[in-house]
Amino acid sequence: MKKYDYLVVGAGLFGSVFAHEAKKKGRKCLVIDKRNHIGGNCYTEEIEGINVHRYGAHIFHTSNKEVWSYVNSFVEFNRYTNSPVAKYKGELYNLPFNMNTFYQLWRVTTPEEAKSKIEEQRSEYRHITDPKNLEEQALILGGKDIYEKLIKGYTEKQWGRPASEIPAFIIKRLPFRFTFDNNYFDDIYQGIPIGGYTLLFQRLLDGIDVKLGIDYLADKDSLDRLASKVVYTGEIDKFYNYCFGKLEYRGLYFENEILDLENFQGNAVVNYTEKEVPFTRVIEHKHFEYGRQSKTYISKEYPSEFSKDDEKYYPINDERNQILFHKYNNLADKEDKVIFGGRLAEYKYYDMHHVIEKALTVSKINIE
Ligand code: FAD
Ligand code: UDP
């Protein structure tokens, strides 16, 4: 008889939702994480009374009512709506691309004028019928000005390669609208947990054994002996000792500052879209929760080949990496005692609501 039904590797969103569901069905779980905190990349830490998003800005959004009710059953969400502002050579533009942006770019004031301006901007690229990369996709979506002022510099900094070598699907994430609506997301529900994301994780993991600062792969055999099954949310290539080679990730690092100032930039997120500025965005954390503290905490976000702390941020889902991932995934499919889930184990550009959906589905299938 093993002490636990499940050893859950990773106290991020996938691991915590899975463990919560397992406990609900009477299963015993041990959750471990190699970091010294729960929450994975959603972790927030209170500094100067401000909930700081330690691994980058996290805005919860979904159109799935079940997922929205689920997260709200643990913690209350505020009315935060993500409306980033883009700064290009000293000029400000609203995002996502909407009537405000079109006015700021071309002084057009009606949807009809905006559409005809964009038509004119796109006319040079009509020959592109099947966009093969992000550059082509962006040019046929919005034309030259939008691409050059708001997309090219940001994207090339973010991904560290020319936009012509980046998969087109990444830019399809950006909505395009002909209304004066600065809401970055199209989803029905949106907000930030009041009190920070860490509270959500504390409540998900309430009553569950959690051990931090433990690297599963460093002590795999003895940890495996503790439970009948393993739920693994770490990197899939590392699990298999990189036997087919390493999957690539885009790294990030944050330059953090506490400023003796009440309000630095008037918005939680300001994107710097020109190539000459080395960071992609500046996050002013207090604005996620309408903070009135006397100080403010800001993070400049720098994309990098690898993050300094070796954290894996964005999977690079290009052809080479996808082929490699499938090799690992074929091995994973053959495991009967290990369940793989989450953005690292599935090598997927997952939003939080997708991870919750997946963890709920996987737990329904696996826990009778
Ligand atoms: P993680 O949060 O990475 O959790 C995995 C955990 O496993 C980690 O804590 C890790 O330490 C642990 N682990 C790994 N290997 C081991 C090991 N060997 N032993 C022990 N522990 C291990 N989503 C949104 O919906 N909205 C947003 O605004 C948003 N913004 C984002 C901004 C950035 C910069 C990034 C990178 C992501 C963003 N996301 C956003 C996505 C969101 O972070 C993920 O969907 C979510 O964190 C994934 O949860 P997870 O459990 O799969 O992975
Ligand atoms: N993007 C851009 N300009 C911006 C913001 C985003 O060109 O001001 C592009 C960029 O290629 C980025 C993609 O849109 O990788 C997706 O952006 P999103 O903000 O959805 O990504 P996140 O960084 O939040 O995952």
How far apart CA 286 and CA 277 sit, in angstroms, is 23
Which residues of the chain register pLDDT less than 50? none
> Rounded to the nearest whole angstrom, what is the distance from the C-alpha of residue 256 to the centroid of ligand 2?
21
pLDDT of residue 307: 54
- The per-residue b/e assignment along 195-205, b for 16 or more CB within 10 angstroms, e otherwise, is bbbbbbbbebb
Cβ of 298 below 6 Å from ligand 1: no
pLDDT of residue 77: 98
Cβ of 173 below 6 Å from ligand 2: yes
How far apart CA 83 and CA 99 sit, in angstroms, is 14
> Rounded to the nearest whole angstrom, what is the distance from the C-alpha of residue 86 to the centroid of ligand 1?
25
Domain 4-80+189-247+315-366 grouped into CATH 3.40.50.300: no
From atom 19 of ligand 2, which residue's Cα is the shortest distance away?
174
pLDDT of residue 176: 79
pTM above 0.85, yes or no: yes
How far apart CA 347 and CA 342 sit, in angstroms, is 8
* Amino acid code (one letter) for 164: S
pLDDT of residue 290: 97
> Rounded to the nearest whole angstrom, what is the distance from the C-alpha of residue 201 to the centroid of ligand 1?
13
For the chain, the structural domain boundaries read: 4-80+189-247+315-366, 96-170
Identify the three-state secondary structure at position 284.
strand
| C-alpha distances out from residue 196 to 25, 204, 286, Å | 27, 14, 11
> Rounded to the nearest whole angstrom, what is the distance from the C-alpha of residue 301 to the centroid of ligand 2?
13
Specify the length of the chain in residues.
Answer: 368
Q: CB neighbours (10 Å) of residue 350?
A: 19
Mutation test residue for ligand 1: of 41, 83, 247, 343, the one with most atoms within 8 Å of CB:
41
Residue owning tokens 């700021």: 104
Q: Which atom of ligand 2 is nearest to the CA of 150?
A: 3
pLDDT of residue 305: 75
